[in-house]
Amino acid sequence: MSNTDFLSGENPVFSIVLVNYKTLEMTKICLGLLHQHVGNSNVPVWVVDNGSADDSTEYLRTLDWINLIERVTPDSEQGHIAHGKALDMVLDRVETDYLFLLHTDTFIFDKNVFAMMLNKCIKNPKVVAVGCVEQINRGTARTLWRFSSRLFKHHYRRLKLSLGLRSKEPKPYREVHLKSFCTLWNCKLIKQHDMHFLMDDRVPGYTLQDRMSALGYTVEFLSPRKIFSYLDHIQSGTVAAAGSYGKTHRRTRMYNNILKRLSKSGYKE
């Protein structure tokens, strides 16, 4: 099925959700691109503002094509917990079978990404989620180096512990959980089993993926090369936008460089 078929029907096949927290510039770009792709369709776009109480909240209130939820968040609530609760608020409200999770630091340039990911679900009703386990496209060389170094460190720590030496706990050397910067979930299956995105204190979606996999459902893994041919993503861009990293931190530099590149390309939100 083509992207046109998904976007042109009277009854939308999927919905989109984003969670905003004090990321005005990125949110403008992200939603501006989305409006170009789905603004003339019936695709529901949900945005949850997680208690920003700033200019980004005011901006969202001016958009008549989104479904805005303004959520009051306790000061003590951790960021990933707040994000998960926001996602579950939308999960309870959507009526479509499928839901795309996006981050405000995800910039979609090719709308065919929706059809590409949806077709994997349509072809196999047992697919519960489609996405990528990496947040950036490192390329072959950097990916191999990262994997081998993590593999070595994992087994080195295991060896030290087996010899009774002091060591940190070995971390998994292989990524297995989908990252939610651009992930498609089968809401129908999730609701059928009375599950949610936030099911414990882990990153939202991790426990959900584990439990649905244990029930025999399939997760489709996309390569970074594949998914990043359709979009850009600023790794931890929401954190960088909030100024939580130093000015010279590599993720802050990545955030600033992508915004500059979008500005030079003439993009207007």
212/239 same-domain check: yes
What pLDDT score was predicted for residue 78?
Answer: 85
What pLDDT score was predicted for residue 157?
Answer: 72
103/77 same-domain check: yes
36/123 same-domain check: yes
In a domain, residue 211? The reply is yes
Give per-residue burial for 223-255: e unless 16+ CB within 10 Å, then b.
Answer: ebeebbebbbbbbbbbbbbeeebeeeeebbebb
57/26 same-domain check: yes
Alpha-carbon distance 142 to 10, whole Å? Answer: 45
Q: Give every CB contact of residue 144 below 8 A, 6+ residues apart in sequence.
A: none
What pLDDT score was predicted for residue 261?
Answer: 62
In a domain, residue 243? The reply is yes
In a domain, residue 232? The reply is yes
In a domain, residue 257? The reply is yes
Alpha-carbon distance 170 to 247, whole Å? Answer: 31
Query: Which of 35, 126, 188 has its CA nearest to residue 16?
Result: 35
Residue 33 clears pLDDT 80, i.e. is over it: yes
Give the pTM: 0.81
Q: Are strands 218-221 and 127-131 parallel, antiparallel or unpaired?
A: parallel
12/127 same-domain check: yes
Alpha-carbon distance 259 to 267, whole Å? Answer: 10
Of 174, 198, 223, which residue constitutes the final position of a domain?
174
CATH number at residue 252: 3.90.550.10
Stretch 138-160: mean pLDDT? 59
Domain count, the chain: 2
27/8 same-domain check: yes
What pLDDT score was predicted for residue 245?
Answer: 44
149/33 same-domain check: no
In a domain, residue 143? The reply is yes
In a domain, residue 111? The reply is yes
What pLDDT score was predicted for residue 163?
Answer: 76
Amino acid at 126: K
In a domain, residue 269? The reply is no
**Domain interval for residue 49:** 3-134+175-264
94/208 same-domain check: yes
91/203 same-domain check: yes
Residue 140 clears pLDDT 80, i.e. is over it: no
Residue 220 clears pLDDT 80, i.e. is over it: yes
89/182 same-domain check: yes
What pLDDT score was predicted for residue 150?
Answer: 61
31/10 same-domain check: yes
Q: Which uninterrupted H or E stretch holds 96?
A: none
pLDDT, tens digit, for every residue of 163-174?
777 777 766 656
pLDDT, tens digit, for every residue of 243-257?
544 566 555 566 666
Of 125, 147, 174, which residue constitutes the final position of a domain?
174
48/23 same-domain check: yes
